[in-house]
Amino acid sequence: MELTVSQMIQAAAAAFLTGFSKTGMVGLGVLIVPLMASVFPAKASTGALLPMLIFGDLFAVAWYRQHAQWRVLARILPWVLPGLVVGTVTLKFTSSAALGHMMGWLILLLIALQLVRERGGEWLEERLPRAWWFSALMGALAGFTTMVGNLGGPIATVYLLSMGLEKREFMGTGAWYYLIGNLAKVPFSAGLGLITARSLMFNLETAPVILIGAIVGILTFRLIPQKWFNRAVLLLAALAALQLLLIPRG
């Protein structure tokens, strides 16, 4: 598959944003997913994007690993695998278009829940983050949505914010979460034929741009105050939800 100049520019932008989002501002998947879908067919784009995400995850883990909160990861990770399995079956037999609206409304609901919690909902503040069913639900939903279209980020983002993590803890915990989750997706994506020799060659070509994005992300992250970091992360999650509601996905 030969790429046009326009597609090469879109691919480079997606690669840069992949690195930047992993080390600087989680949530920019709202921009990466449509860029990749413009370079590859919708389903094939998920297989081409996955190794790029893993490459970016490695940099994020290397830089933020000491800030990871494993107690938080232990609550959500066991529930991701069932979501991946259901997402694989769904991806094999159905289009993701109908699921987009459901996921969009779900993300908006979770954002609203987080905003209520931040504004003094005592029960939500104290009980919800500690409830096992909340972690189970969020883990399964994150696994399902990330398998269907690499869209588990907004759900994981809202979950990590609900745990009250400081921004470095957020990045360190998220780095391990995304690396483990994305590695778990590899056999499923390969089994569906979404990772191919051509897509892997594309991944090698974009690797240097991902590295540049990751370095710029590290430098930018230091300049963002905690308050604005939280707001930006929620805003990007909301944009991802609106994208799902307004832009058809094949």
> pTM here?
0.78
- pLDDT 10s digit of each residue in the chain, 250 long? 577 888 888 889 899 989 998 998 876 766 787 778 777 776 678 788 899 999 999 999 999 999 999 988 888 888 988 888 888 787 777 665 565 666 667 667 767 766 666 665 555 556 666 777 888 888 888 888 777 666 667 778 778 877 888 889 989 999 998 899 889 889 988 888 888 888 899 999 999 999 999 999 999 888 888 777 777 777 777 776 776 677 655 5
The pLDDT assigned to 20 comes to 92
Sequence ranges of the domains in the chain: 5-246
The 3-state secondary structure of the chain reads CCCCHHHHHHHHHHHHHHHHHHHCCCCCHHHHHHHHHHHCCHHHHHHHHHHHHHHHHHHHHHHHHHHCCHHHHHHHHHHHHHHHHHHHHHHHHCCCHHHHHHHHHHHHHHHHHHHHHHCCCHHHHHCHHHCHHHHHHHHHHHHHHHHHHCCCHHHHHHHHHHCCCCHHHHHHHHHHHHHHHHHHHHHHHHHCCCCCHHHHHHHHHHHHHHHHHHHHHHHHHCCCCHHHHHHHHHHHHHHHHHHHHHCCCC
The pLDDT assigned to 63 comes to 93
